[in-house]
Amino acid sequence: MATRVRFDRFYTYAELTETLDAWADTFPSLCRVEAIGQSYEGRDIPLVTVTNYETGPPEEKPAVIVHAQIHSMEFTATTAALSLLDRLLHGYGSDEKVTAALDTRTFYVVPRVNPDGADAGLADGRFRRSSVRPYPRDEPQDGLHREDVDGDGRVLMMRIPDPNGAWKPHPDDPRLLVARGPDDLEGDFYRVFPEGTIVNYDGVNVKIAPPFEGLDLNRNWPADWAPEGEQMGAGPYPTSEPEVRALVQAIVDRPNITNYIGYHTFSGVHLRPYSGRADDDFPTADLRAFKLMGEEATRLTGYPAISIFHDFKYDPKMVIRGGDVDWVYDFLGAFAWVTEFWSPQRAAGLEGYHFIDWLREHSPEDELAVLKLADEIDEDGYVDWYPFEHPQLGPVELGGWNLVYFWFNAPFARLEEEVRPHADFALHLALVSPRLEVKSFESEAVGEGAYRLRLVLENSGWLPTNVTQKALDRRAVRPIEVELELPEGARVVVGKEREEAGQLAGRVEKRAVMWWGVDHSTSDRTKVEWVVEAPAGSRVAAVARHERAGTARAELTL
């Protein structure tokens, strides 16, 4: 039986590689695996190309690229990428939408951009943002560093009784610690630290050290990059890190990419550009298309679709710099999304909360609701406090939220239902892409041995061949190129053997109200004509190529 994706575990690099190789062996006409580069520690970064190779090579079809787990501990993202591959490979021939997509489009999937960080996190449970490369210093700085001090595979929290502590037990459930009020004078109070050990502890003061591996690979992209002083984790220069450099090069090398999704965790939301600019900076048509695709994403997955700048800032006065979606959209002119999987709040029944503000401050009742969810799932999402003799702090208690396996990732009991619907959104993005087709190719005799040829091309896709207005503004996309292939001895009398045919509109601008402000012209079609001299019975071919809308061929007999 063909390998199927598993939802009862997170894959190690070895297991991931074995699964991809098995799929490539089982589905040779649909799936091929290659390495686009190597990680900091020398692991291959795999890219899986999925299309029906019998209907044409992948580069001659419009494409969607999906990448996952650029951040070390976001294992759900890799599972979602594998779930997409599983749906495509096992659905071909039985699932009408999958079959149509693979016959006419291409999927590029990088299931794990950051194999080093992922394997390290699976091995020791310690939270890392991205790469395992030490940055910005080669030695750990003084202070507390997160690590699994008791060797149980979890990195939790440490609490110590302290009359000056900022935390107190919740009156309805003492396991849960909530903020101490300004006039709370009596009761049990605790000081709380992340689980870990302290470099150069002086016996009194505990400061939280900056992470030893301080890179954020998703701040290392070329668009709107800023140095470390302005954007934490950005790296010394754009694409300085091999993982990002490999991914950027892979995207640039595949100009047929029309849509992009980065798989992340957590929040249960689809994010679109811009990160650092308001929606007013969008070309009107591009913003409308983003919103329409976002509405469909919500219908298919239940996740809202929002702007990073307007709705997902980590700090109201700061913006994210050097991110992926801004580069893909603003520089290449392709539509770009980030999917943040899994929302414990929504799963607990909370509604109407702000995705970031809630993390900074929320009611104790909200916290109790999420704790109830963790208890129902029963996968150690919240760990009861237990005593431990810390080598530096003495008696402490370990426990609290299991951040990696409850907050940053969907619990295994919820993993499959959480990620499965997102294959539908990837399919949607593939099928809205432009698609260049030959509507007709005809010849007419106009004299002895002379023929008029007429080629009519059509864009059958929803998006225009240029995909976005931004692509035209940036000159990031070339026009349709048409080449006439003649037999030996034939010649073109009128026209050129190579012609440019501009761009073709899609259906995206055909609005619901068909009598107001809608272009009803046949802007989705164009024609190219030639007069040729050739012997009767000759075979003539025409090839139309567009780097984003694909390649279309036709031939006829004079």
* 233 Cβ contact partners less than 8 Å away, ≥ 6 residues apart: 129, 130, 135, 214, 215, 216, 219, 220
Q: Residue 513: what pLDDT?
A: 61
Q: Residue 315: what pLDDT?
A: 86
3 state DSSP class of 547: coil
Q: What is the mean pLDDT of the chain?
A: 96
pLDDT band at 312 (very low <50, low <70, confident <90, very high): very high
pLDDT reading at 271 higher than 70: yes
Q: Residue 519: what pLDDT?
A: 76
Q: Residue 92: what pLDDT?
A: 98
Beta strand spans in 139-195 (E): 143-146, 157-161, 167-170, 173-179, 190-194
pLDDT digits (tens, 9 = 90+) for 407-416: 999 999 999 9
pLDDT band at 515 (very low <50, low <70, confident <90, very high): low
pLDDT band at 1 (very low <50, low <70, confident <90, very high): low
Q: What is the mean pLDDT of residues 83-110?
A: 98
CB burial string 26-49: b at 16+ within 10 A, e below: ebeebbbbeebbebbeebbbbbbb
Tokens of 430: 């593939």
DSSP state of 71: S
Q: Residue 3 — φ and ψ, nearest 5°?
A: -60, 135
Q: What is the dihedral of CA 91, 411, 72, 422, to 10 degrees?
A: 30
CA dist 408 and 402 (Å) reads: 9
pLDDT reading at 213 higher than 90: yes
CB 275 within 8 A of CB 89: no
- Residue 186 C-alpha from the chain's centroid: 49
* 15 Cβ contact partners less than 8 Å away, ≥ 6 residues apart: none
- Choose which CATH entry (3.40.50.10540, 2.60.40.10, 3.40.1280.10, 1.10.10.60) describes domain 436-557: 2.60.40.10
Q: Residue 274: what pLDDT?
A: 97
- Choose which CATH entry (3.40.630.10, 3.30.1330.60, 3.40.50.2300, 3.40.1440.60) describes domain 13-122+214-342+411-431: 3.40.630.10
Q: Residue 517: what pLDDT?
A: 67
CA dist 280 and 286 (Å) reads: 11
Q: Residue 522: what pLDDT?
A: 86
Q: What is the mean pLDDT of residues 359-377?
A: 95
Burial of 51 (0-12, 13-18, 19+ CB in 10 A): buried
Q: Residue 36: what pLDDT?
A: 98
Percentage of the chain with pLDDT > 70?
99
pLDDT reading at 506 higher than 90: yes
Q: Residue 512: what pLDDT?
A: 62
Give the residue carrying structure tokens 């003061």.
Answer: 205
The pairing of strands 157-161 and 394-401 is antiparallel
CB 89 within 8 A of CB 30: yes
Q: Omega of the bond prior to 266 within 30 degrees of 0, cis? A: yes
Q: Residue 170: what pLDDT?
A: 95
Best CA proximity match to 256, nearest among 430, 52, 63, 110: 63
- Within 10 angstroms of residue 389's Cβ, the number of other Cβ atoms is 10
CB burial string 311-326: b at 16+ within 10 A, e below: ebbeeeeebbbbbbbb
Domain boundaries, the chain: 13-122+214-342+411-431, 436-557
How open is the CA angle 143-145-150, to the nearest 5 degrees?
125
pLDDT digits (tens, 9 = 90+) for 224-267: 999 998 999 999 999 999 999 999 999 999 999 999 999 999 99
Q: Residue 465 — φ and ψ, nearest 5°?
A: -60, -35
Q: Residue 510: what pLDDT?
A: 75
Q: Residue 260: what pLDDT?
A: 98
Q: What is the mean pLDDT of residues 522-540?
A: 94
Number of helices (H), then strands (E), belonging to the chain: the values are 14, 24
pLDDT reading at 208 higher than 70: yes
pLDDT reading at 509 higher than 90: no
Domains 13-122+214-342+411-431 and 436-557 share a fold: no
DSSP state of 538: -
How open is the CA angle 318-322-324, to the nearest 5 degrees?
115
